Amino acid sequence: MTAARQTAHRAIAMRSITKRFPGVVALDGVSLEVRAGELHAICGENGAGKSTLMKILSGVYQPDAGALEIHGQPARFTGTRAAERAGVAIIHQELNLVEDLSVAANVFLGRERRTPLGLVDDRAMEVETSRLLQMLECRVAPRTRAGSLRVGDQQLVEIAKALSLDASILVMDEPTSALTEAESVRLERTIHRLRDRGTTILYISHKMDEVFRLADRITVLRDGRHVRTVDRAATTPQEITGWMVGREIACHAFHEPRPRGAKLLEIKALTLPWPEHPRGYRLADVSLDLHAGEIVGVAGLMGAGRTELLETIFGVSPPTWAGTIRLAGQPVRFIHPREACDAGIAMVTEDRKRLGLFPDLDVAGNVSLCSLREALQGGLLSRGREESLVAGPLRDTGVKTPGPHASIMGLSGGNQQKCIIGRWLLTQPRILLLDDPTRGIDVGAKAELYQLIDRLCRQGLGVLLTSSELPELLTLADRILVLAEGRLTAEFARAEATEHRILEAATGS
Ligand SMILES: Nc1ncnc2c1ncn2[C@@H]1O[C@H](COP(=O)(O)OP(=O)(O)OP(=O)(O)O)[C@@H](O)[C@H]1O
Ligand SMILES: [Mg+2]
């Protein structure tokens, strides 16, 4: 009786799960039990094995050894469909939407609703999709092409898809990494609703505040091993990070003033039209300066125009903008990122899957991509030169990889992001545009990256930084500009900036 009740109470049991990839033991005998209806957070450094464990739970990978039980029944999933039938759905860290299909078609991909005559019932799928999106407080129309959405909205569509499966177990792999704070709050409301319905949730996040707000219990993985599972109420963020990294992390703010150098970038009255939108513009009358040695933060909600601002400078947006952009005093109008690179600008984008990673190139190839001229020897790419070229950035950004020629797709999410930062540092830019650069990067690696950026600024780099995490802007930036609906609404010196004041300016309240 008691035994039966205990089993019923346990949604998931994973026993001694081992998973190897070429050159890596991703999971080494990991055991984990998850209670029905709890929110169980999984924490660990980049590459610790979090996503791999969740992919085994949801049928993406099969373990090399070990056993899995779902609701007391042994399970051996041959694929995600099998896991879905057992009530397990996953929202991946790297979004998986088919860009050319509509939002509704993505939600029902492979499970299309049919009319009694067997035709695809677009109408029914659109109605259902609208209902799900409404529950997520997302205003995207079901017929919108998925590829035209920004990452944040794509993530909500992935969540709608998981909801449509009516899963009893939902895995969320860094669901808020692409969301702004306001959207994360919206997602938290959804999570509470799911819990009220009894859904068991596994939740991966590098954001400790989030983990401590949401989790009932927390499991820490390190180097593919299970370190600890504890009640949230019985631990602290410091203790969790300690178990994650196995060492102290330096967490100092950068209040040592940086010398401000020459003006690198000057933007005057920048306006970017948006004809198909009632507002008419993505950016209106934006003016700002950036000096050598300076980090200027750009805050704002999603849709405020932060990414568009950086993309316009970098030559990604259509060159339909009005106003002036001056680089070291010279007016410029880039129509391709290559021109911006040649002029000494680099940009780390928010959406690494779509804009950043080249799956057919290995780790070294991805890092050296924009500095190839230096790796060429007599017109040929020398492996040795490429290796020595990328050694520095791989070390500086702390990429964890089996080697420079490992597959980029085999790296964990956070390590892929570090490769992209390394790629741009290698071009030795004068101006670095960082669009949410530490998305998905663990706390320890983040502190190291902040130090690296601070060091480069002391050598004369100028940085324009956006972040979905205000503490990041408050830690790094000398000044913080706030965008709301495409307009600058406030500017704060570091000393006067607070989360509260920034949010007020960002929401126009
Ligand atoms: N498909 C794959 N091929 C080769 N190696 C892989 C593959 N998937 C994962 N790995 C390796 O397994 C280890 C664990 O990766 P995993 O993605 O589970 O880490 P993670 O904890 O989710 O990290 P992050 O916080 O960066 O997302 C890493 O060393 C990674 O390089
Ligand atoms: Mg991961």
Q: How far apart are alpha carbons 477 and 23 in whole angstroms?
A: 39
Structural element, H or E, at residue 486: none
Q: What 3-state class would DSSP assign to 328?
A: coil
Structural element, H or E, at residue 15: strand 10-21
pLDDT tens digits for 337-374? 889 999 999 998 766 555 578 889 999 999 998 887 76
Phi, psi of 450 (to 5 degrees): -60, -40
What integer is the mean pLDDT of 271-299?
A: 94
Pairing between β-strand 345-348 and β-strand 431-435 as defined by DSSP bridges: parallel
| Amino acid (one-letter) located at 411 | L
Structural element, H or E, at residue 55: helix 50-57
Structural element, H or E, at residue 322: strand 322-327
Q: Where are the domains of the chain?
A: 2-245, 263-344+429-507, 357-428
* Sheet with strand 462-466: strands edge to edge: 345-348, 431-435, 462-466, 295-299, 479-484, 487-493
Among 2-11, 255-264, 384-393, the minimum mean pLDDT is found in: 2-11
pLDDT at residue 224 in the model: 96
Confidence category of residue 5, pLDDT binned at 50, 70, 90: very low
pLDDT at residue 228 in the model: 96
Confidence category of residue 318, pLDDT binned at 50, 70, 90: confident
What spacing in Å lies between the alpha carbon of 363 and ligand 2's midpoint? Answer: 17
pLDDT tens digits for 93-109? 777 889 999 999 999 98
What spacing in Å lies between the alpha carbon of 394 and ligand 1's midpoint? Answer: 17
Q: 89 with 167: CB under 8 angstroms?
A: yes
Confidence category of residue 451, pLDDT binned at 50, 70, 90: confident
Q: Which CATH number fits domain 2-245: 3.40.50.300, 3.30.300.30, 3.40.50.1100, 3.30.70.3420?
A: 3.40.50.300
Ligand 1: does its nearest atom lie under 6 Å from the Cβ of 51? Answer: yes
Phi, psi of 219 (to 5 degrees): -110, 135
Ligand 1: does its nearest atom lie under 6 Å from the Cβ of 413? Answer: yes
Ligand 1: does its nearest atom lie under 6 Å from the Cβ of 404? Answer: no
Query: Using the 8-state DSSP alphabet, how is residue 45 labeled?
Result: -
Q: How far apart are alpha carbons 408 and 463 in whole angstroms?
A: 27
pLDDT at residue 4 in the model: 43
pLDDT tens digits for 42-75? 999 999 999 999 999 999 999 999 999 999 999 9
Is 263-344+429-507 the same fold as 2-245? Answer: yes
The domain 263-344+429-507 having CATH identifier 3.40.50.300: the answer here is: yes
Strand partners, 221: 226
What's the pTM value of the predicted model, to 2 decimals?
A: 0.81
pLDDT tens digits for 164-173? 888 899 999 9
pLDDT at residue 264 tops 90: yes
Structural element, H or E, at residue 41: strand 39-43
Q: Where are the beta strands (DSSP E) in 147-274?
A: 169-173, 200-204, 217-222, 225-231, 263-274
| Amino acid (one-letter) located at 320 | T
Q: Which residue has the higher pLDDT, 30 or 189?
A: 30
Q: How far apart are alpha carbons 446 and 458 in whole angstroms?
A: 18
pLDDT tens digits for 461-483? 999 999 878 888 998 999 999 99
Report which protein residue has its CA nearest ligand 1's atom 2: 410
Ligand 1: does its nearest atom lie under 6 Å from the Cβ of 235? Answer: no
Q: How far apart are alpha carbons 246 and 262 in whole angstroms?
A: 42
Provide the phi-psi class of 328: left if phi over 0, else alpha when psi is between -120 and 50, else beta.
Answer: left
pLDDT at residue 438 in the model: 85
Report which protein residue has its CA nearest ligand 1's atom 29: 47
Q: What 3-state class would DSSP assign to 33?
A: strand
DSSP string, 265-316: EEEEEEEEEETTSTTEEEEEEEEEEEETT-EEEEE--TTSSHHHHHHHHHT-
